């Protein structure tokens, strides 16, 4: 703690992993001897840089940029960029740390990293966002590359931002290096299903959790928080699998639509018009707009937090359990507080942690890297099948590891032990680096 003062979220993420991997360390004394825990908690490299840019009225702004290259034992550093005013070094370190284990769980050859800035793209014009992205890349370009570090999108970084970032990288380096960024638009080297991947993948994972108890999404009421990239495509897949999403949110509140969220309308509001969720109730009079209580008060059988970290606390967890929730699946990174997780587990609610349940996005990014490297482009159907197979594998790996270590049904232990063991084995093999 004293080495990383004030990095609350990073401490929270490290504690969560260390609390579950004891049995793996007991079984493998060579991990302790090689000091894998200490090495894994220390990023290989972290870069912090100044990002100056000019707004439309000529005022100068200074933001802070970050790239934390956490672990490259399994492959190039891989993980998204987040543009949000709340971003601090501790935020990026927590996300990068989680990413190491998530990427390991996919079974694909990718290490873990994360980056971003405290820049807030909301309310900024396209040209302002472009100028910011160009300035950000003017420093970032020297740290990344298809064999070293491959960033992607995250909160506040979608296809518009990735386009500006890639354009600037290409211009500075004079290289059309498609594999240097993932989440690109289909028009210039992007992959089918990347946009949908995290939401679809989370839904597939939870579908496997339901199947493992002889159940399915059919006829279930589902609550999805957020209305960004992850949330929208979670809603789409839940509807395709026969569930009904009855509530969605953004940071201004949530809408409760007992007849089921009209996804085309919500996509239009969020992806095209870039408006607040309040516009939903303007168009759907029977839906209720709620700003004075938590979305987790809405009764449901499946809850999929897909907005941000620490958005579901112990009170929310108690409300979910009381209302008959069977499964909570984390679409976002660490959306449930440690107390929230404890309450859910004590109440017997199955809990799918983000590092397993939301691994579909990075897995599809790795597929995008494969396509870029081979100058190939796969169909939507083929790509979605690959994603589905990967998510079933991630589920089965967590499930089997939990059983192997005497914790059946404990997806937190399963995910942490399986992810940690894969990285630890690779680090041992590479020697003291």
Residues that bind ligand NDP (CB under 6 A): 153-156, 198, 225-231, 249-252, 306-308, 311, 331-333, 358, 361
Residues 237 and 152: their CA atoms lie apart, in Å, by 22
Smallest separation (angstroms) from ligand NDP to the CB of 89: 16
The pairing of beta strand 112-117 with beta strand 149-152? unpaired
Smallest separation (angstroms) from ligand NDP to the CB of 239: 17
* Contact (Cβ atoms closer than 8 angstroms) between residue 208 and residue 360: no
DSSP 42: S
- Return all residues near 294 (Cβ < 8 A) that are at least 6 apart: 315, 316, 319
Smallest separation (angstroms) from ligand NDP to the CB of 235: 12
- Return all residues near 202 (Cβ < 8 A) that are at least 6 apart: 230, 234, 304, 306, 329, 330, 331, 352, 357, 358, 360
Q: Which residue, 179 or 305, has its beta carbon nearer to ligand NDP?
A: 305
Smallest separation (angstroms) from ligand NDP to the CB of 125: 17
Q: Which residue, 43 or 79, has its beta carbon nearer to ligand NDP?
A: 79
Q: Report the residue number whose CB is nearest to ligand NDP.
A: 228
User: Is 114 noted as a catalytic residue in this protein?
Assistant: yes
- Return all residues near 209 (Cβ < 8 A) that are at least 6 apart: 327, 329, 350, 352, 395, 411
Q: Which helix (H) or strand (E) holds 337?
A: none
Q: Which residue, 166 or 405, has its beta carbon nearer to ligand NDP?
A: 166
Smallest separation (angstroms) from ligand NDP to the CB of 30: 32
Instruction: Write down the catalytic residue from 114, 184, 195, 220.
Output: 114
* Main-chain phi, psi angles of 360, to 5 degrees: -65, -30
Q: Which residue, 151 or 331, has its beta carbon nearer to ligand NDP?
A: 331
Q: Which residue, 301 or 358, has its beta carbon nearer to ligand NDP?
A: 358
Rg for the chain, CA atoms, rounded:
21
**Active site positions, annotated:** 114
């Amino acid at each position: 703690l004293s080495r990383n003062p004030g990095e609350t979220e990073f401490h929270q993420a490290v504690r969560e992993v260390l609390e579950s991997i004891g049995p793996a360390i007991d079984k493998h004394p060579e991990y302790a001897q090689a000091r894998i825990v200490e090495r894994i908690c220390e990023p290989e490299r972290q870069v912090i840089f100044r990002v100056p840019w000019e707004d439309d009225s000529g005022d100068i702004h200074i933001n802070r940029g970050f790239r934390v290259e956490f672990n490259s034992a399994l492959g190039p550093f891989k993980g998204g960029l987040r543009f949000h005013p709340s971003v601090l070094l501790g935020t990026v370190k927590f996300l990068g740390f989680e990413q190491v284990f998530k990427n390991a769980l996919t079974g694909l050859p990718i290490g873990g990293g994360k980056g971003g800035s405290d820049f807030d793209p909301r309310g900024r014009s396209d040209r302002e966002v472009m100028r910011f992205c160009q300035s950000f890349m003017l420093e970032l370009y020297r740290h990344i590359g298809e064999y070293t570090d491959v960033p992607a999108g995250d909160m506040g970084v979608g296809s518009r931002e990735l386009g500006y970032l890639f354009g600037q990288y290409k211009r500075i380096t004079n290289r059309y290096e498609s594999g240097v960024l993932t989440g690109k638009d289909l028009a210039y080297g992007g992959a089918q299903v990347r946009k949908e991947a995290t939401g679809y993948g989370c839904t597939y994972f939870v579908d496997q959790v339901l199947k493992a108890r002889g159940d399915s999404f059919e006829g279930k009421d589902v609550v999805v928080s957020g209305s960004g990239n992850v949330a929208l495509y979670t809603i789409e897949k839940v509807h395709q699998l026969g569930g009904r999403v009855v509530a969605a949110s953004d940071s201004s509140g949530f809408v409760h639509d007992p007849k089921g969220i009209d996804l085309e309308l919500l996509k239009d509001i969020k992806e095209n018009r870039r408006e607040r969720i309040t516009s939903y109730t303007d168009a759907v009079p029977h839906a209720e707009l709620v700003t004075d209580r938590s979305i987790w008060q809405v009764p449901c059988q499946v809850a999929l937090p897909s907005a941000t970290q620490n958005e579901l606390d112990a009170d929310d967890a108690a409300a979910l359990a009381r209302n008959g929730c069977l499964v909570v699946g984390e679409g976002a990174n660490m959306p449930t507080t440690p107390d929230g997780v404890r309450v859910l587990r004590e109440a017997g609610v199955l809990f799918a942690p983000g590092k397993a349940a939301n691994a579909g996005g990075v897995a599809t990014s790795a597929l995008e890297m494969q396509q870029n490297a081979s100058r190939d482009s796969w169909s939507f159907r083929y790509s979605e099948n690959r994603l589905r197979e990967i998510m079933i594998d991630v589920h089965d790996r967590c499930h089997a590891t939990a059983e192997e270590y005497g914790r059946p049904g404990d997806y937190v232990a399963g995910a942490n032990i399986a992810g940690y063991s894969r990285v630890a084995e690779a680090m041992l093999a590479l020697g003291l680096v």
